A and B are shown apart, each in its own frame.
Chain A
Amino acid sequence: MSNNSDSKKKNKKQSETTLEMVPIFIMGKKHDVPATLTIQKAFEYAGYQLVRGCGCRGGICGACGTVYRFPDSYRIEVGLACQTVVKPNMYISQIPFFPANKAVYDIEELEPTGSTVWALYPEIFKCVGCGTCTRSCPMDIDVMEYISRAIRGDIAGAAELSFDCVMCGLCTVRCPSEEVQYNIGILTRRLYGRHIAKRAKHLEDAVENVKQKKFDKGVKKLKKMDIDKLKEIYSARETEPQFGPEEWEPENKDYLITE
């Protein structure tokens, strides 16, 4: 036991000597934090408990939009707190929430045209093309460009260009024309997905087969199965080989849908 705790102490001492610390300023207050932390972890290291403005911690949910600056630069930098590693002397503030208007609509009733977007977000025509939104995007999306596409009625173009948006809202925070770019972006993606994108025939067939109860018998059989047997057939199931030929088909074709 004593040996064990000795080595722990030794380890701790070693890590203390090798751990590089950097000064950062959270909402103006200085904290020294390990240089390897992300902004999000640095907040927690400094003693903040994140209840809002903290979601997936994986760069996808867009909850942790953050702005920061360095003392020797006029630039406003942006990032997702969970993805951005701290740098010495950064002045940080998270912007976990910013009010944004959101149109209410039934996507089924809309047409995928510019007029639809213009009617739901008429302020889109206030865009002066300053490009601040593009400069503020932590996902490196050309926000101004997709807003331009929406202004000229190119729904498919706006949907494609805004595809990587995580809805963090930093574009909206900084827009001098009070646009809600990310809500306009998701509208164009919904319009595209519902009305423009080609329907997947095999998916419709599969849904139809579910409705026709084609799989019910199989599911019932599985439900009644003994757990060990279930494990066994799960492990032995056929899967598509990673580098198989294009025309690969499983040996058991009971549930295979072919066109």
Chain B
Amino acid sequence: MGNKKTKLHYYPGCTLKEKTTNLDDTTYAVMDLLGYELIEPENWTCCGAEFPLTEEKIVGLAAPVRILRQVKLEGGNKVFTVCSFCFNVLKRANEAMVTDPLKHKRINAFLKDDITIDRVTGDKTTGFPEYNGDVSVLHLLEFIRDEVGYEKIRALIKRDLGKVKVVPYYGCRLLRPKGKIGIDKPDDPSIFEEFLENIGCEVIDFPFKQECCGSYLSLSMPDAASEASYNVLRSAKLNGADVLALSCPLCYYNLDRRQDRIKEKFPEFHEMPVLFFTQLLAWALGVDEEILGLDQHFCDPRSVLGIDKSGVEI
């Protein structure tokens, strides 16, 4: 494996550095095995988490466009994310810089006067070049399908996931809005299924794979979020799944970390393990259990992976 690694820009997003470090750690682990050295754009900030939908209030574009401009200034022509929210915002902000001349003009006029300060010398830089949407924004599922290739993944597999029955859960942000995201057909997606099949899982179809988990309602209307998540998990169970796979930290929060709240509202609810797609991939590629961060889960997914509490094979 002494080959030189390919440098690739990676935007993790805030949640991955605090609440879901398991998603970040497994991303680093699998990308290392696939031959990539990840570069986080310097001074990255929160992407904003929501793409601004109002025509005039465009300040929410400043942060994602600045992040993309930084990738370009560092010589990158693509950046990938694993968080569905970050992906959605960066992708659409990028698209706005191509398709909306007025937003392009206003955001670039604003960002031109940014100041960066050299941490060592204290020198200030200002007068930044325009950003024209020329960095491609990719989700890791997309990057694996189009650039790594499933063949390479299959060749690197170290652990058999054959007995694991998985439902792919897309949620909202990976696919919609139609025509703006482009990772797959929003009405009839298959990218997640293909990925799971190629890492050796038994894929189970279920009707709630594009439904909402409750999203931010877990803050303002927790009961409504519990119900939405309950419907998703119940359907997965009824269809015979052992585990639900996803890519979004907020879906993970609603579908795993809030299972105690779901149980309060629906006493007949059965706990169900939830795993990030990168955790499944990491496991298949032979990454140490420790790096998977399984202790962070509410519902312990170890039995699904065929190991007991201490990481020993069952």
Contacts and interface: CB of A to CB of B under 8 A. Distances in A.
A142 B45 contact: no
A128 B44 contact: no
Nearest to B63: A129
A193 B111 CA distance: 35
B117 interface: yes
A117 B17 CA distance: 15
Contact of B17 (A135, A141, A153, A176): A153
A148 B45 contact: yes
A114 to B, nearest CB: 5
B14 A152 contact: yes
Nearest to A148: B45
Contacts of B60: 128
B46 A135 contact: no
Nearest to B64: A129
A131 B66 contact: yes
A131 B61 CA distance: 12
A145 interface: yes
A129 B45 CA distance: 7
A144 B66 CA distance: 12
A140 interface: yes
Contacts of B117: 134, 140-142
Q: A interface, by DSSP: helix, strand, loop or mixed?
A: loop
B18 A152 contact: yes
Nearest to B116: A142
Interface in A108-125: 113-114
Nearest to A145: B43
Interface residues of B, number: 23
A134 B43 CA distance: 12
Among B43, B44, B66, max chain A CB count under 10 A is at B43
A127 interface: yes
B122 A129 contact: no
A255 B101 CA distance: 73
Given A152-B17, A152-B18, A142 B43 contact: yes
Given A142-B43, A153-B17, A128 B124 contact: no
Interface in A133-176: 134-135, 140-142, 144-145, 148, 151-154, 176
A130 interface: yes
B114 interface: yes
B18 A140 contact: no
Nearest to B126: A135
Interface string B120-143: 001010000000000000000000
B293 interface: no
Contacts of A135: 113-115
A128 B59 contact: yes
B115 A129 contact: no
A145 B114 CA distance: 12
A122 to B, nearest CB: 11
B18 A128 contact: no
A75 B122 CA distance: 21
Contacts of A140: 117, 122, 124
A144 B48 CA distance: 13
A134 B115 contact: yes
Given A140-B122, A142-B43, A131 B62 contact: yes
Contacts of B18: 113-114, 152-153
Given A134-B115, A142-B117, A176-B59, A129 B17 contact: no
A142 B17 CA distance: 20
A150 to B, nearest CB: 10
Given A135-B113, A153-B17, A153-B18, A148 B59 contact: no
A192 B115 CA distance: 27
A129 B62 CA distance: 7
A114 B20 CA distance: 13
Given A129-B63, A148-B46, A176-B59, 7 more contacts: A127-B46, A134-B114, A134-B117, A140-B122, A142-B43, A142-B117, A145-B43
Interface of A: 75, 113-114, 127-131, 134-135, 140-142, 144-145, 148, 151-154, 176
29 contacts: A127-B45, A128-B48, A128-B59, A128-B62, A130-B62, A130-B110, A134-B115, A134-B117, A135-B113, A135-B114, A140-B117, A140-B122, A142-B43, A142-B117, A144-B45, A145-B45, A148-B43, A148-B44, A151-B14, A151-B45, A151-B46, A152-B14, A152-B17, A152-B18, A152-B46, A153-B14, A153-B17, A153-B18, A154-B17
Interface of B: 14-15, 17-18, 43-46, 48, 59-60, 62-63, 66, 110-111, 113-117, 122, 124
